Amino acid sequence: MNLDSPRHSPLVSGWEQSTLTLLRVALWAFLTFPSAGSATGIPAQSAPLTASDSQKETTRNPHGPLTIPCENCHTAASWHPIRTVPEFDHNKTSYPLRGMHEKVTCALCHAKPVFTDVSRNCADCHADIHRRQMGPDCAQCHTVQGWNTSVQQVKDHQNRFPLLGAHAAVQCDACHTQLATGIFDGLSTQCDSCHLKDWQSTTNPPHASAGPAFASANCQSCHNFDSWLDAKFDHSSTGFALTNGHANVPCASCHINNNYNLQISPTDCGNSGCHLTTWQQTDNPRHSAAGTAFAVANCFTCHNTISWTDITSFNHSITGYVLTGAHATTPCVLCHVNSNYHLTAANTNCYGCHTTDWNSTQTLGGAVPNHVAAQFPTALCSTCHDTTAWADGRFDHSATGWPLTGGHVVPTPGGVQSCTDCHVNNNYSLTSANTACFGCHQAAWNSTQTLGGLVPNHLAAGYPTTCDSCHTATNWLGATFNHTYFPVPHHASVCNDCHQVSTNYSSFTCINCHTTSAHQQVPTTNQHNGVSNFVYGPTTCYNCHKNGGEG
């Protein structure tokens, strides 16, 4: 170290300069020349050191094997005290100084002259006020930045009670009171061990008298670590889950006078003491007189927790009369006139509500039969009408044994237009005798006498009145006869080509058409010479040529 450097040798007087020079010379001589055993200046042979010699050597160097110049710490003015800022780099040792340790004076740690004789354990310098409850490793909670500064590990509180939410911001002594003599091990983790006074001071509700759900051991059922005041009670744990509108009702609205010992079924709205007054004040209908379906214990059959006044959820099927189609949206009072909710099966026939519609059929006309004149039974409205649309009646005619098909379906272009086309004079008492085609189509039958052409005279021919042998319900004029005994059409012939006697279609002739020279009597007889029983005549051909071809 250069003691003459400007930093260490400010301007001094001549006398002081002389004194410093003498001290440097004396120090050099003391360290350079041999001891009294070698007065000649020639190094003597090394002799074994005795215990006394070793003590003398230790005395001369009290700091042990310290190799830095003395002036790095001491001054020439006095051996004590040492410099305010010693020139010693502690970073080059095995224990660099950090944080608060940088401000500590050397002697507070190095109580002995031999500086290496110092432990690095915290407890060697710092008393364990925790009485070893926290273990020997102080660094798990404390750092060199400050004795009261906790590291993240203690914040995490990684043990049987991790610090979560607001607990992470609580000072240790808030739970571990009187740190010097406090207890850090074996503390209760129950909320009431710290929050018992909070529990005892509650008023809404008063937890001490509000039943087992609010017992001091059940704090975590409502409270969380984030905020003690932001309590959320799981009401479903009581067997009465709060849904929809109930979820927003203040507790005191149901638990009057802090009565938290209610024993109410979730569906017993009327007897709960919350909706009883409302039930008693009803007038449309007046529930107290409207029958068992409106009993005080049956509120839930109509009402729900979404809206007390929204009663569209009533299950009408429990009355034995299911509402379907237009009935499902019909206001109750249209059927339950004068708040009469005591209807029975006799009142639920369609006629009970639709009498006016029934009577109006006398004047409606068109495709609507006069129900009164036809004496339709009033108990069978559902035979034709449904709940989708009352005016759109549909009678299943097949139920009479005579299904309507083709042109008989009402209405059909070119066919039947209304029921009265068949049921003349509102006669709906027709039997199987009335349902034969001839009953309605007699005029068409009679017209065959003058139609001519391809239409045979049904009367003259003596046709039976079983019209459906030729005619169908699809098209009355497109008749097709099943010519069983001879295939037709036969070479574009018409009926009267063969059946030339209009009054007798059982007779026919072949030779009326087959008059060519090949079919005249002489050549035909000669051609059939040897054919047994052959006699030339109008129907002889059919005996052999039944298919109209070669025999």
pLDDT per position as a tens digit, 362-408: 998 777 888 998 888 888 888 888 888 888 788 888 888 888 888 88
Instruction: Specify the number of domains making up the chain.
Output: 1
Least confident of 147-161, 405-419, 486-500: 147-161
In a domain, 272, yes or no: no
pLDDT recorded at residue 491: 79
pLDDT recorded at residue 150: 61
pLDDT recorded at residue 500: 80
pLDDT surpassing 70 at residue 151: no
In a domain, 473, yes or no: no
**Burial (Cβ within 10 Å: 0-12, 13-18, ≥19) of residue 32:** exposed
pLDDT surpassing 70 at residue 71: yes
Residue 214's CB is within 10 A of a number of other CB atoms, namely: 19
Q: Assign 262 a pLDDT band (cuts: 50, 70, 90).
A: confident
Q: Assign 359 a pLDDT band (cuts: 50, 70, 90).
A: very high
Q: Which amino acid is at 292?
A: T
Check whether the bond before 523 is cis (ω within 30° of 0): no
In a domain, 181, yes or no: yes
Contact 119, 112 (CB under 8 A): no
Q: Assign 432 a pLDDT band (cuts: 50, 70, 90).
A: low
**Burial (Cβ within 10 Å: 0-12, 13-18, ≥19) of residue 461:** middle
3-state DSSP assignment of residue 150: strand
What torsion do the CA atoms of 505, 510, 513, 518 make, to the nearest 10 degrees?
A: -170
Give Cα 99 distance to the centre of its chain: 57
Mean of the pLDDT values across residues 324-349?
Answer: 81
Pick 257 or 144 by higher pLDDT: 144
Looking only at Cα atoms, what is the longest distance across the chain?
192
What are the pLDDT digits (tens) for 277-303?
888 888 878 888 887 778 888 888 788
The highest-confidence range among 303-312, 379-388, 478-487, by mean pLDDT, is 379-388
DSSP letter for 377, please.
-
DSSP letter for 45, please.
P
In a domain, 233, yes or no: yes
Q: How far apart are CA 232 and CA 247, in angstroms?
A: 11
pLDDT recorded at residue 196: 92
**What is the average pLDDT value for the chain, to the nearest integer?**
78
- The answer, as to whether pTM is greater than 0.75, is no
pLDDT recorded at residue 517: 64
Domain range for residue 252?
Answer: 138-265
In a domain, 477, yes or no: no
pLDDT surpassing 50 at residue 430: yes
Q: How far apart are CA 88 and CA 91, in angstroms?
A: 9
In a domain, 214, yes or no: yes
In a domain, 16, yes or no: no
What are the pLDDT digits (tens) for 508-531?
888 878 776 667 888 888 888 888
Residue 85's CB is within 10 A of a number of other CB atoms, namely: 7
Residue 425's CB is within 10 A of a number of other CB atoms, namely: 8
DSSP letter for 95, please.
S
Beta pairing partners, 150 = 142
Q: Assign 182 a pLDDT band (cuts: 50, 70, 90).
A: low
Pick 443 or 204 by higher pLDDT: 443
Least confident of 5-19, 181-195, 423-437, 445-459: 5-19
pLDDT surpassing 80 at residue 455: yes
Q: How far apart are CA 419 and CA 427, in angstroms?
A: 10
In a domain, 329, yes or no: no
pLDDT recorded at residue 313: 66
